[in-house]
């Protein structure tokens, strides 16, 4: 029996997707990316009555977007659920969109998967590679690479939760080469046994974090291991842009590539026709991003989270450092708007 691919089967290959990154690719930044990138536009209809017209999906952005990772345990508790449901908010323009969950408890994953499927997501992804200490302390994320039996039980529970929702959406997994050592040949087949639609492989171990270059030759090996299984393989790690992504597709044979850190300060990443971005365009995007952050999150998320975006947006142009330092002292969208507009007025006077 082949895996159920759902919308993945309808995507043209190779496809290029947006990585889930905590406190980065939130609902706000995804909306900015969708607006400023024009690569996407696939209809993901899966034949269900919930399908939307094809024109609904003629939008920008990556071929597939992921939410930030969300705790399945938290979704199962009324007190934590409200805040986490905000993290799972999305717009129709982001489709197809996959919700990423993590847990070490199959019973929690069953409940969370059922809920997420009922929320209308196009797919569910299980995080089995996150090296965050708090996640690993729970026995989730990268820790699952040390416990294939539990990992398979969580996958099975996810599948059962989706089935209990009455919907039919694909399941995917994001993982690494191994925990402390590269155990791809042992770990990868255990995942393939469960017939996921997709496996995204980050080409480093948990121990390596991002301290060494991603080993794409190991992703090529994963493609070889998965051959004939029906599971699609996405490569991840150190991808600079879409040109680099296409090169890696040729070198490894992957079905798709996931881009992560390259999106920082560059919501135009998935627009291959956008060869350059002016300083003014970049600063206007900063203002829009900040205003949307404040509008959507109000006081539920710290304004400090925007500061990492400023570090990415504000560089490689004259007086960027000085502007960035001013912005680091701001705490509202109005302050940011005033500072940026004042900079633009001064810059135009100097031209």
Which whole number is the average pLDDT over 167-181?
A: 98
C-alpha angle 217/220/223, rounded to 5°? 160
The sign one gets for the Cα dihedral 12, 16, 20, 23 is negative
Position 1 confidence tier, pLDDT thresholds 50, 70, 90: confident
| Average pLDDT score over the chain | 92
Label residue 272 by pLDDT band (50, 70, 90). confident
Please list the residues that pair with 99 across neighbouring strands: 124
Which residue has better confidence, 348 or 305? 305
> What percent of the chain has a predicted confidence (pLDDT) above 90?
85
On the question of pLDDT at 53 being above 60, the answer is: no
Per-residue confidence (pLDDT) for residue 41, from 0 to 100: 42
Q: Residue 301: is its pLDDT beyond 60?
A: yes
* pLDDT tens digits, one per residue of 65-81: 999 999 999 999 988 78
Spatial separation of the C-alpha atoms in residues 140 and 142, rounded to whole Å: 6
- Residues identified as active-site: 130
**Confidence at residue 60, expressed as pLDDT on a 0 to 100 scale:** 63
* Secondary structure, 3-state, the chain: CCCCCHHHHHCCCCEEEECCCCCCCCHHHHHHHHHHCCCCCCCCCCCCCCCCCHHHHCCCCCCEEEEEEEEHHHHCCHHHHHHHHHHCCCCHHHCCEEEEEECCCHHHHHHHHHHHHHCCCCEEEEEECCCCHHHHHCCCHHHHHHCHHHHHHHHHHHHHHHHHHCCCCCEEEEEECCCCCCCHHHHHHHHHCCCCCEEEEECCCCCCCCCCCCCHHHHHHHHHHHCCCCCEEEEECCCCCHHHHHHHHHHHCCCEEEECHHHCCCCCCCCCCCCCCCHHHHHHHHHHHHHHHHHHHCCCCCHHHHHHHHHHHCCCCCCHHHHHHHHHCCCCHHHHHHHHHHHHHHHHHHC
Q: How far apart are CA 128 and CA 176, in angstroms?
A: 8
Structure tokens at 89: 């908010």
Q: How far is CA 168 from the centre of its chain?
A: 21
What confidence tens digit (pLDDT) does each residue in 208-220 have? Answer: 988 899 999 999 9
CB burial of residue 198 (10 Å; 0-12, 13-18, 19+): buried
pLDDT (0 to 100) of residue 350: 62
Separation CA 233–CA 236 (nearest Å): 10
Residue 55, pLDDT > 60, answer no
Q: Mean per-residue pLDDT for 231-260?
A: 97
């Amino acid at each position: 029996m082949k895996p159920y691919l759902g919308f993945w089967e309808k995507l043209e290959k190779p496809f290029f997707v947006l990585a889930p990154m905590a406190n980065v690719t939130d609902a706000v930044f995804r909306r900015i990316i969708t607006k400023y990138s024009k690569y996407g536009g696939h209809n993901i209809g899966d034949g269900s009555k919930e399908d939307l017209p094809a024109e609904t999906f003629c939008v920008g952005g990556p071929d597939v977007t992921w939410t930030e990772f969300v705790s399945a345990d938290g979704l199962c508790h009324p007190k934590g659920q409200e805040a986490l449901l905000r993290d799972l908010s999305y717009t129709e323009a982001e489709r197809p969109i996959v919700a990423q969950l993590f847990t070490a408890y199959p019973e929690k994953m069953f409940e969370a998967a059922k809920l997420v499927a009922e929320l209308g997501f196009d797919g569910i992804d299980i995080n089995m590679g996150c090296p965050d200490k708090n996640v690993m302390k729970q026995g989730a994320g990268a820790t699952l690479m040390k416990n294939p039996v539990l990992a398979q039980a969580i996958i099975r529970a996810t599948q059962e939760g989706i089935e209990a929702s009455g919907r039919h959406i694909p399941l995917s997994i994001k993982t690494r080469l191994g925990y402390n050592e590269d155990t791809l040949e042992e770990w990868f087949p255990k995942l393939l046994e469960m017939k996921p639609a997709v496996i995204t492989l980050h080409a480093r171990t948990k121990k390596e974090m991002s301290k060494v270059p991603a080993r794409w030759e190991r992703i090529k090996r994963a493609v070889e291991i998965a051959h004939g299984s029906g599971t699609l393989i996405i490569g991840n790690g150190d991808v600079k842009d879409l040109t680099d992504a296409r090169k890696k597709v040729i070198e490894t044979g992957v079905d798709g590539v996931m881009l992560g850190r390259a999106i920082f300060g560059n919501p135009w990443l998935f627009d291959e026709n956008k060869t350059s971005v002016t300083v003014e365009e970049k600063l206007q995007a900063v203002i829009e991003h900040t205003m949307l952050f404040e509008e959507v999150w109000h006081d539920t998320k710290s304004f400090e989270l925007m500061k990492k975006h400023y570090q990415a947006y504000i560089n490689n142009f004259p007086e960027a450092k000085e502007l960035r330092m001013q912005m680091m002292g701001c705490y509202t969208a109005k302050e940011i708007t005033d500072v940026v507009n004042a900079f633009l007025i001064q810059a135009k006077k100097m031209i």
